[in-house]
Structures are given as structure tokens and as C-alpha cells.
Structure 1
Amino acid sequence: MSDQDALTPRVIIFRHGETEWAKSGRFTSSTDIGLTPAGVAQVSSASAKFVGAGKLVDPCRLALVFVSPRVRAVDTFALLLPPASSGVGADKVVYTEEITEWNYGHYEGLKDQEIRLLRKNGGLDKESEWNIWSDGCEGGESKQQVTERLDRLILHIKETQKPYMRGEKPVDVLLVAHGLILRCFVKRWLGLSIDNPLPMILAPGAIAVLSYKNNDVDKPAFHVGLAPPSEE
């Protein structure tokens, strides 16, 4: 990665740490459920390794932080960038429904097979298996609704970063949210439909980095890998 690439604005996404429902495979959107001890340890470890001056998440380079207002995301953010020590002012932090988890509606708290049985008993999915990416959730959000709110957020981010594509000012953005919605965000960032069959894994407490190719706001991309900062 060239020095100029290192200055290109980035969007860093971070999934909240483990919860009991995530651990057991239950679909969790609006339900407020806290982190497990293992989840706290995941985020604390990530903070120690990746957050700080010259590290992957450098608080001095953050222009905005978008956090889901669900407690598991709020607690994750507080562990990842402790307010007292990170230096990220409250004026940069936005708690927003735009990056909350996909609203699962009637499927909240259910496991995958339970949802499929519920839909089968309701006379659905006779010709093909249920696919949340394309079919959405009964009583919850559709693919189009999720797309629209993510596109609003992406537009906001691009408008913030566009004037500084060559590092004239540090304008990295951090998102702290949930597994499915962040994978949807990646697809929309790349200009793909959220039902595009791009296989992705984003484990609890995982971090990933998006950016732009050739310092061009119209060429959003993702980092397959990042070279660690050189030690001086």
C-alpha cells in the first residue's frame, strides 16, 4: 500500500461483541441484549490491538462515528473507544437508526430453521427456500427499505469524505453495528444489490476496512488486506 493510499479516506466497520442470542443463532434486531463476558473480552482485545495513534483505528483520523443505538452496539463502542481516553469528542458520534440491524419483525428471537418452519406452515416458500437478502421479514423490513436507509448513510459519508480524497484532512469514518446490516452496508458500498450472492463472514467483534480505489469517490472498494504501519 502506497503512502497516498494510506491517506485515502476509509470507512471502518466493527461488529459488536458476542451476545447470548448471537451465540445461540437467534435473530436479534430490536431486542436490547447485552454483551457476554466473552463479548466484552473480544472488544477489549480489539481495542488494545487496533485502536490508538498510528494503529488501524486512529482516533485522531476519525471525522465521524456512526453507532447503532442498541445496547450491544453502544457498549461495544464504549469499550472500543473509551470516551475518557480516545479523544473522540461527542460532537463526532452519531447514534442512528440508519445502521441498526435489519428489522426481523415476526422472526425476532427465532433461529433459522424455526423461521423456515414458520414460513412453511404459513404457506410461503413453495417454489424456493427463504432468503432474507431478497425476501425480507414478515412484519419487519424489506430489502428495499434496508437499501434505502443504507444508501442515505453512504451518501452522507461520501459527501463528508469527497473534498479530502488525497488526505488533505483526515476524514475516516467508523461504524459500530450488527452482523447482517454491516454485510448489507458492504454490498451497497460496492454498488451491489443487497441480495447479491457475495459470500461474507463478519464474526462478533470483527473489524473490516472499506475505502476508494485511486482516490476516486466514485470508485468505492474494500481492502482485501492491509499492511501494518511501519515502526519508527
Structure 2
Amino acid sequence: MAPKKRMPRVYLIRHGETEWSLNGRHTGVSDIPLTENGEKMVKEMGPRMMGPGKLIDPAAVRHVFISPRKRAQRTAELLFGANPLPKCYMTTEPEVAEWDYGAYEGMLTKDIRKNKPDWEIWTDGRHPGETPQQMSDRVDRVIAKVRAIHMKAEEDASSPEEIEHSDVMIFSHGHFTRVFIARWCGFPLKAGYNFAADAGGLAVLGYQHNTLKEPSLLGLNWYSEDSLAHR
């Protein structure tokens, strides 16, 4: 019997812990570094999830998109330190940056609501900054790029196994990850409210039933044990 084909995947990794992620401040364009614990978290995560026979097989990853923010760049640097990717296109991609919070940058939700009691990022966003529609459109453009990579890999494959070698990794941020999950699954942006994206957490997306026509969420917040312990 021929081996069952594994469909290509998307690995969404939120950057490790920062001071602002700890206290809940909206961190969009600010370049906040990882904490010492955040770096430790990523260093410990790598050997558990990356390597031959593990969740992420470096040999199957073909494209890596990294947010320009240094917290995401450092997360990728630490994760790939002991896990070099042999055949991969790695780029800094502005479109996977965090939601632009405009004047709400660095603020806590409770402080924003002192002047706007009913404010929700999912329905109101911030102008200047990004509206929910602008954020949804940006994430859709990233998804289109990922799906194009997967479709081309399927078209070019000379055997059912070859399509495995088109996995994509994205190093990004909390709200971006939650919006990406919602839009990947065909939900409206505001459905992102229902998904958690912990600092240092990994979301795995892919497809069901061996077809690119059934995009699905396969796993959420894998290897973010510290955050899960405090729930």
C-alpha cells in the first residue's frame, strides 16, 4: 500500500514573551525585545518541535516569512540556531507584522475603554492605524501567497510524497495569528476573538481529506507550556 500523502502545512509562531505581552499592552509597531524568559522559552521550544521525525521537519519547510519587528526576528533566530533549514526561502515580510494600533499603541484595553467603553479591536480597530477591514485584507493577501505556494507544489509534484516539501513558517504576533486562523478557515475576522495565541505558542494549519479545498486548523498553542500552566 502506498504511503498516505501528508498535505502541506503552515506553522504560525508567535514571538516569545516580552514585557508588554506580559502586562497586556497593545504592541504593534513598537520594537519591544524578548525578555530573558522569552528567549529561554524559544530555546527550549526548538528541540522539542523541530527536527527529523518531529512536528516540524526542517527538510519539508520551503518558505519562512518573518515580521520586521525584532521580537519576531529574534524568535526566528533562536529557533533556527540549532535547526538550520537546508532548502528554504527566508524573507522579512512586512505584511505579517502585527495589527497597527495607531494611537492605542502601548495602551491597555481597560485604559482605552475609559473613553470608549464599548471598544473592541475586532470591530473598531483604530484610525489612524488599521481598521478591521484593512487587517482582514492584509491577512488575506498573506494567505493567498501561502496557498499559491501549496498549489504550485501540488502541480509540480512528480509523486504524492513530494507535496510534503512545501511547508511554510510564519513568525508573527498575537492578533495577526488570531486573524490568520480565522481567515484561513473562512471565518470573518472577528472570529479571531475565539482563538488564543500565547507568546511562544505555535498554531498549525493545513488541509483535510487530501485536498487543498479544505483548509483547517490542525493544532493551537502547542509547546507554550508556561502559559497553559497559568490558565
Equivalent pair of 2:98/2:173 in contact (CA under 8 Å): yes
Deviation at 1:51, TM superposition (A): 1.1
Describe how 1:108-127 pairs up with structure 2 within 5 A: 108-119=105-116
Structure 2 Cα separation of the partners of residues 139 and 184 of structure 1 = 20
Matched with 2:121 is 132
Matched with 1:179 is 174
Equivalent pair of 2:178/2:193 in contact (CA under 8 Å): no
Question: Structure 1 residues 203, 141: CA separation in 2 closer, same or farther (over 3 Å shift)?
Answer: same
1:148 and 2:137 correspond: yes
Matched with 1:126 is none
Among 89, 94, 98, the alignment partner of 2:91 is 94
Query: Any idea what SS the aligned residue of 2:116 has?
Result: helix
Query: Any idea what SS the aligned residue of 1:54 has?
Result: coil
Matched with 2:43 is 44
Structure 2 Cα separation of the partners of residues 202 and 191 of structure 1 = 18
Question: Structure 1 residues 154, 211: CA separation in 2 closer, same or farther (over 3 Å shift)?
Answer: same
Aligned AA (1:167): E
Structure 2: unaligned runs, 5 residues or longer: 155-159, 221-231
Matched with 1:230 is none
Among 160, 164, 167, the alignment partner of 2:161 is 167
Deviation at 1:85, TM superposition (A): 4.8
Matched with 2:18 is 19
Structure 2 Cα separation of the partners of residues 150 and 117 of structure 1 = 30
Query: Any idea what SS the aligned residue of 2:141 has?
Result: helix
Deviation at 1:39, TM superposition (A): 0.3
Structure 2 Cα separation of the partners of residues 32 and 74 of structure 1 = 11
Structure 2 Cα separation of the partners of residues 192 and 176 of structure 1 = 22
Equivalent pair of 1:67/1:177 in contact (CA under 8 Å): yes
Deviation at 1:13, TM superposition (A): 0.8
Tell me the TM-score normalised to structure 1 length. Answer: 0.86
RMSD of aligned Cα (Å): 1.9
Deviation at 1:4, TM superposition (A): 2.6
Deviation at 1:77, TM superposition (A): 0.3
What does the per-residue CA deviation read over 1:42-88, in whole Å, with 9 as the maximum and x for residues that have no partner? 11111011111221111110010011010000000001112x75134
Matched with 1:229 is none
Tell me the TM-score normalised to structure 2 length. Answer: 0.86
Deviation at 1:17, TM superposition (A): 0.3
Matched with 1:211 is 206
Deviation at 1:138, TM superposition (A): 3.1
Query: Any idea what SS the aligned residue of 1:75 has?
Result: helix
Query: Any idea what SS the aligned residue of 1:208 has?
Result: strand
Does 1 or 2 have the higher relative contact order (CA < 8 Å, sep 6+)? 1
